[in-house]
Amino acid sequence: MNIKMKEIKTTGSFEDEIIKMNAEDLIIFLQNNNLLKKEMVCVLCNQFMQLDKFNGNKDGFIWRCKYSLCPFKRRRTSIREEIFFKNINLSFVNILKILIRWSHKTPTTNIAQNLGISHAAIKKLITKFISLQESFDFRTNKAGGPGKIVQVDETMLNYKCKSHRGRSSRNKSDALCIVEYDGHITRDSLF
Protein backbone atom coordinates (compact mmCIF):
# COMPACT_ATOMS: atom_id res chain seq x y z
CA MET A 1 0.00 0.00 0.00
CA ASN A 2 1.80 3.10 -1.23
CA ILE A 3 -0.15 6.10 0.13
CA LYS A 4 1.30 9.57 0.55
CA MET A 5 -0.20 12.01 3.06
CA LYS A 6 -0.83 14.50 0.24
CA GLU A 7 -3.22 12.03 -1.44
CA ILE A 8 -5.57 11.78 1.55
CA LYS A 9 -8.62 14.01 1.12
CA THR A 10 -10.35 13.93 4.51
CA THR A 11 -9.55 13.07 8.09
CA GLY A 12 -12.00 10.18 8.09
CA SER A 13 -10.53 8.59 4.98
CA PHE A 14 -7.00 8.96 6.38
CA GLU A 15 -8.00 7.22 9.62
CA ASP A 16 -9.79 4.51 7.63
CA GLU A 17 -6.68 3.86 5.54
CA ILE A 18 -4.50 3.64 8.67
CA ILE A 19 -6.86 1.17 10.34
CA LYS A 20 -6.89 -1.06 7.24
CA MET A 21 -3.08 -1.26 7.03
CA ASN A 22 -1.24 -4.26 8.40
CA ALA A 23 1.97 -3.70 10.40
CA GLU A 24 4.25 -3.95 7.37
CA ASP A 25 2.21 -1.52 5.25
CA LEU A 26 2.09 0.94 8.15
CA ILE A 27 5.88 0.81 8.57
CA ILE A 28 6.33 1.41 4.82
CA PHE A 29 3.83 4.30 4.96
CA LEU A 30 5.71 5.90 7.88
CA GLN A 31 9.04 5.45 6.09
CA ASN A 32 7.71 6.91 2.82
CA ASN A 33 6.50 9.97 4.72
CA ASN A 34 9.82 10.35 6.60
CA LEU A 35 8.35 9.53 10.00
CA LEU A 36 10.51 6.41 10.39
CA LYS A 37 14.07 5.78 9.26
CA LYS A 38 14.48 3.82 6.04
CA GLU A 39 17.89 2.57 7.12
CA MET A 40 19.81 2.26 10.36
CA VAL A 41 23.53 1.89 11.04
CA CYS A 42 24.84 -0.35 13.83
CA VAL A 43 26.57 1.80 16.45
CA LEU A 44 29.17 -0.90 17.06
CA CYS A 45 30.31 -1.94 13.57
CA ASN A 46 29.00 0.93 11.39
CA GLN A 47 27.28 -1.52 9.02
CA PHE A 48 23.69 -1.15 7.85
CA MET A 49 21.15 -3.05 9.91
CA GLN A 50 18.28 -5.04 8.45
CA LEU A 51 14.60 -4.47 9.21
CA ASP A 52 13.15 -7.78 10.49
CA LYS A 53 9.76 -8.92 11.71
CA PHE A 54 9.67 -9.38 15.47
CA ASN A 55 6.65 -10.44 17.51
CA GLY A 56 8.18 -9.41 20.84
CA ASN A 57 7.14 -5.74 20.62
CA LYS A 58 4.08 -3.68 19.72
CA ASP A 59 5.57 -2.46 16.42
CA GLY A 60 6.13 -5.92 14.97
CA PHE A 61 9.53 -4.94 13.53
CA ILE A 62 13.07 -4.26 14.75
CA TRP A 63 16.43 -3.31 13.30
CA ARG A 64 18.90 -6.20 13.53
CA CYS A 65 22.65 -6.19 12.85
CA LYS A 66 23.50 -9.10 10.55
CA TYR A 67 27.17 -8.33 9.95
CA SER A 68 29.11 -11.53 10.63
CA LEU A 69 32.15 -9.78 12.18
CA CYS A 70 30.14 -7.55 14.52
CA PRO A 71 30.79 -8.40 18.20
CA PHE A 72 27.07 -7.97 18.89
CA LYS A 73 25.82 -9.84 15.83
CA ARG A 74 22.03 -10.16 15.71
CA ARG A 75 21.73 -7.28 18.18
CA ARG A 76 18.20 -5.83 18.15
CA THR A 77 17.36 -2.13 18.05
CA SER A 78 13.88 -0.62 18.18
CA ILE A 79 12.57 0.96 14.99
CA ARG A 80 11.66 3.95 17.16
CA GLU A 81 15.32 4.60 17.99
CA GLU A 82 16.52 8.18 17.33
CA ILE A 83 13.14 9.45 16.09
CA PHE A 84 10.07 11.32 17.35
CA PHE A 85 8.31 8.14 18.56
CA LYS A 86 11.19 7.00 20.82
CA ASN A 87 9.71 7.38 24.33
CA ILE A 88 6.05 7.16 23.39
CA ASN A 89 4.43 3.93 24.55
CA LEU A 90 1.55 3.89 22.04
CA SER A 91 1.05 1.99 18.81
CA PHE A 92 1.75 3.84 15.57
CA VAL A 93 -1.95 3.62 14.67
CA ASN A 94 -2.97 5.30 17.93
CA ILE A 95 -0.25 7.95 17.61
CA LEU A 96 -1.48 8.87 14.14
CA LYS A 97 -5.14 8.84 15.24
CA ILE A 98 -4.35 11.19 18.14
CA LEU A 99 -2.38 13.60 15.96
CA ILE A 100 -5.07 13.59 13.25
CA ARG A 101 -7.87 14.30 15.71
CA TRP A 102 -5.84 16.88 17.65
CA SER A 103 -4.92 18.70 14.43
CA HIS A 104 -8.64 19.00 13.71
CA LYS A 105 -9.13 20.64 17.12
CA THR A 106 -10.85 17.70 18.80
CA PRO A 107 -10.59 18.21 22.58
CA THR A 108 -8.09 15.87 24.25
CA THR A 109 -10.76 14.59 26.65
CA ASN A 110 -12.85 13.44 23.66
CA ILE A 111 -9.80 11.82 22.06
CA ALA A 112 -9.05 9.99 25.33
CA GLN A 113 -12.64 8.73 25.64
CA ASN A 114 -12.98 7.67 21.98
CA LEU A 115 -9.65 5.84 21.77
CA GLY A 116 -9.50 4.51 25.33
CA ILE A 117 -6.09 6.08 25.95
CA SER A 118 -5.12 7.92 29.12
CA HIS A 119 -5.27 11.70 29.08
CA ALA A 120 -1.65 11.82 30.35
CA ALA A 121 -0.36 9.77 27.39
CA ILE A 122 -2.19 12.03 24.93
CA LYS A 123 -0.87 15.16 26.65
CA LYS A 124 2.70 13.76 26.53
CA LEU A 125 2.41 13.03 22.79
CA ILE A 126 0.93 16.43 21.93
CA THR A 127 3.50 18.27 24.08
CA LYS A 128 6.32 16.40 22.34
CA PHE A 129 4.78 17.16 18.94
CA ILE A 130 4.44 20.87 19.72
CA SER A 131 8.05 21.03 20.93
CA LEU A 132 9.19 19.79 17.49
CA GLN A 133 7.55 22.64 15.66
CA GLU A 134 10.00 25.32 14.66
CA SER A 135 9.64 28.81 15.97
CA PHE A 136 9.39 31.39 13.25
CA ASP A 137 12.80 33.01 13.51
CA PHE A 138 13.30 35.12 10.39
CA ARG A 139 16.81 36.26 11.36
CA THR A 140 18.39 33.18 9.78
CA ASN A 141 16.20 33.25 6.67
CA LYS A 142 15.98 36.84 5.47
CA ALA A 143 13.80 37.76 2.51
CA GLY A 144 14.54 40.46 -0.04
CA GLY A 145 17.74 42.05 -1.21
CA PRO A 146 18.86 44.23 -4.12
CA GLY A 147 16.26 44.27 -6.92
CA LYS A 148 13.79 42.07 -5.02
CA ILE A 149 10.35 43.03 -3.79
CA VAL A 150 8.88 41.47 -0.66
CA GLN A 151 5.13 41.56 -0.21
CA VAL A 152 3.59 40.75 3.17
CA ASP A 153 -0.15 40.28 3.56
CA GLU A 154 -2.13 39.46 6.67
CA THR A 155 -5.64 38.20 6.19
CA MET A 156 -8.43 36.56 8.16
CA LEU A 157 -10.05 33.55 6.57
CA ASN A 158 -13.60 32.22 7.12
CA TYR A 159 -14.79 35.46 8.68
CA LYS A 160 -17.72 36.66 6.57
CA CYS A 161 -20.97 34.97 7.52
CA LYS A 162 -23.44 34.79 4.60
CA SER A 163 -27.05 34.49 5.76
CA HIS A 164 -25.98 32.20 8.58
CA ARG A 165 -24.93 29.48 6.11
CA GLY A 166 -21.55 27.88 5.83
CA ARG A 167 -18.80 28.42 8.34
CA SER A 168 -19.41 29.89 11.75
CA SER A 169 -18.26 33.47 12.25
CA ARG A 170 -16.44 32.22 15.37
CA ASN A 171 -14.28 29.94 13.21
CA LYS A 172 -11.68 32.58 12.31
CA SER A 173 -8.23 31.73 10.98
CA ASP A 174 -5.45 34.26 10.57
CA ALA A 175 -2.96 33.84 7.74
CA LEU A 176 0.31 35.63 7.10
CA CYS A 177 1.53 35.43 3.49
CA ILE A 178 5.07 36.46 2.49
CA VAL A 179 6.15 36.53 -1.17
CA GLU A 180 9.56 37.45 -2.59
CA TYR A 181 9.33 38.74 -6.17
CA ASP A 182 12.14 39.25 -8.70
CA GLY A 183 10.38 39.25 -12.08
CA HIS A 184 8.73 36.04 -10.86
CA ILE A 185 7.97 34.59 -7.43
CA THR A 186 11.25 33.30 -6.03
CA ARG A 187 10.05 32.34 -2.53
CA ASP A 188 6.73 32.18 -0.75
CA SER A 189 5.59 31.33 2.75
CA LEU A 190 2.19 30.94 4.37
CA PHE A 191 1.82 30.96 8.15
Q: What is the per-residue pLDDT across 10-27, written as a single tens digit (0 to 9) for each?
A: 556 778 888 888 888 888
* Number of domains composing the chain: 2
Question: Same domain for 165 and 90?
Answer: no
Same domain, 177 and 95: no
For 176, the domain range is: 149-190
pLDDT > 90 in the chain, percent: 8
pLDDT score, position 143: 76
- Statement to judge: residues 102 and 175 lie in one domain: no
pLDDT in tens, 139-164: 666 777 888 888 888 887 765 566 66
Residue 183 lies in a domain: yes
157 and 128 inside one domain: no
* 149-157 sheet: strands from edge to edge: 149-157, 173-181, 185-190
Q: Is 172 left (phi over 0), alpha (psi -120 to 50) or beta?
A: beta
pLDDT at 119: 92
Question: Collapsing DSSP states into helix, strand and coil, what is residue 101?
Answer: helix
Phi and psi at 178, nearest 5°, equal: -125, 125
Q: Which helix (H) or strand (E) holds 59?
A: none
Nearest to 125 by CA among 135, 114, 113, 117: 117
Give percent of the chain above pLDDT 70. 80
pTM exceeds 0.85 for this model: no
